[in-house]
Amino acid sequence: MAKKQKFPHLVGSKWTAQQTIMGWRHFQVTNRKNQGQWVFAELVAACDPEVRFWLNANLLKDRGLWQAGWQSLQEMTTGEKGEG
């Protein structure tokens, strides 16, 4: 039986950083890399494709660092979805 892939929907997923990273908060995963037991995600800033970096995909599970999807500052501070 094939081993279950970790993070099967990683590529194409969108993330909001709790703190700005290189001036940006909104990122999209454009690539993944498996190295042994580790999975790495390449994130690219939504507004600046020149801003890109790799990170251990496990860090995306840390809600103190990342939120799934693109969140507004209001959504991040109040936990509510904005209208529109």
Q: What pLDDT was estimated at residue 62? A: 96
In a domain, 5, yes or no: no
In a domain, 30, yes or no: yes
In a domain, 77, yes or no: no
Q: What are phi and psi of 79, to 5 degrees?
A: 80, 10
Q: Give the whole-number percent of the chain exceeding pLDDT 90.
A: 73
In a domain, 35, yes or no: yes
Model confidence band, residue 31 (pLDDT cutoffs 50, 70, 90): very high
What is the number of domains present in the chain? Answer: 1
Q: What pLDDT was estimated at residue 41? A: 97
Structural domain that includes position 61: 14-66
In a domain, 56, yes or no: yes
**pTM for the structure as a whole:** 0.82
Give the integer Cα–Cα distance in Å for 49 and 70.
16
SS3 content of the chain, % helix, strand, coil (to 5): 15, 45, 45
CB atoms within 10 A of CB 15: 21
Give the integer Cα–Cα distance in Å for 23 and 16.
12
In a domain, 28, yes or no: yes
Q: What pLDDT was estimated at residue 73? A: 80
pLDDT at 81 over 60: no
In a domain, 80, yes or no: no
Q: What pLDDT was estimated at residue 83? A: 47
